[in-house]
């Protein structure tokens, strides 16, 4: 029995090393950033008589309890086209509340408010100079750059479901965390930079309500 185990253990060790190397190779091949990004959807955003949806963002603050986080938001329409982006500051254990219809999609790139689409969020530490100077964007949260990407941001979206009888049922789900590839990050930031450059003031979302910072002081929004 001991002889058998002596033969098996080296084989298992070699297999383990191969598996670890293969995993690294796959990660490198896929261009993983090592971080995640959040994905959710909005629906019935412009349907007549439907209530308005809400995006809520929190900062976990686990790795650095005192650190603010930037929620870099990218909003797409049903044709998978970027229609708005923005950079919003979220303080530790703080709550950022954004109305989907009147804030998130206040100035779409196409000048059309989408009825359905997708909301993607990348978390970062303060990462430069935000070119969006209005709509409560934070000057240090730049959605056009891939610098200082991190984790520690969570989000929830309320969903206006199809009408049942005389009412629109509302559900709420937490945004799903997906692996953020370097290609995806480059696409998000690049598309946002293009939208801001070509949009002539459009293609920009509003960060909504700045909640209490946790120290008794409410964060002041950037002047429009």
Question: What is the SS3 assignment for 127-149?
Answer: CCCCCCCCCCCCCCCCCCCCCCE
Residues 6 or more apart whose Cβ sits within 8 Å of residue 122 = 35, 37, 38, 71, 72, 74, 149, 180, 185, 188
Which ranges of 142-211 would DSSP assign to H, the alpha helix? 182-198
The token duo for 156 is 């929830």
Domain ranges in the chain are: 1-30, 33-210
Kind and range of the H or E element at 153?
A: strand 153-160
In the CATH hierarchy, which fold is given to the domain comprising 33-210?
Hypothetical Protein Tm1070; Chain: A (2.60.290)
**199 token code pair:** 């949009």
pLDDT of residue 128: 87
Nearest to 178 by CA among 74, 71, 33, 81: 33
pLDDT recorded at residue 75: 98
Q: What is the pLDDT of residue 56?
A: 96
pTM reported for the whole predicted model: 0.80
Q: Per-residue pLDDT tens, the chain, 224 aa: give them.
A: 445 444 543 433 433 333 333 333 333 444 767 789 999 999 999 999 999 999 999 997 665 556 899 999 999 999 999 999 999 999 888 899 999 999 999 999 999 999 999 999 999 998 989 999 999 999 999 999 989 999 889 999 999 999 899 898 999 999 999 999 999 999 999 999 999 998 888 999 999 987 654 443 444 444 33
Which pLDDT belongs to residue 60? 79
Q: What is the model's pLDDT at position 64?
A: 56
């Amino acid at each position: 029995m001991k002889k058998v185990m002596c033969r098996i253990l080296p084989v298992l060790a070699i297999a383990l090393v191969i598996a670890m190397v293969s995993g690294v190779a796959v990660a490198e091949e896929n261009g993983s950033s090592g971080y995640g990004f959040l994905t959710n959807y909005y629906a019935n955003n412009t349907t007549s008589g439907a209530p308005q949806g809400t995006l809520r963002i929190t900062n976990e603050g686990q790795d650095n309890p005192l650190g603010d986080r930037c929620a870099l938001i990218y909003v797409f329409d049903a044709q998978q086209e970027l229609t708005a982006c923005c950079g919003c500051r979220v303080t530790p254990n703080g709550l950022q509340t954004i109305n989907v219809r009147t804030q998130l999609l206040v100035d779409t790139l196409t000048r059309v408010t989408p009825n359905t689409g997708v909301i993607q969020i990348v978390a970062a530490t303060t990462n430069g100079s935000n070119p969006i100077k209005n709509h409560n964007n934070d000057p240090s949260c730049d959605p056009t750059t891939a610098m200082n990407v991190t984790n520690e941001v969570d989000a929830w979206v309320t969903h206006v479901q199809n009408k049942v009888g005389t009412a629109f049922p509302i559900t709420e789900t937490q945004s799903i965390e997906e692996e953020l590839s370097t290609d995806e990050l480059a696409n998000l930031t690049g598309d946002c930079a293009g939208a801001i450059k070509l949009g002539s003031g459009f293609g920009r979302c509003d960060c909504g309500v700045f909640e209490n910072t946790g120290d008794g002081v409410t964060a002041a929004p950037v002047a429009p």
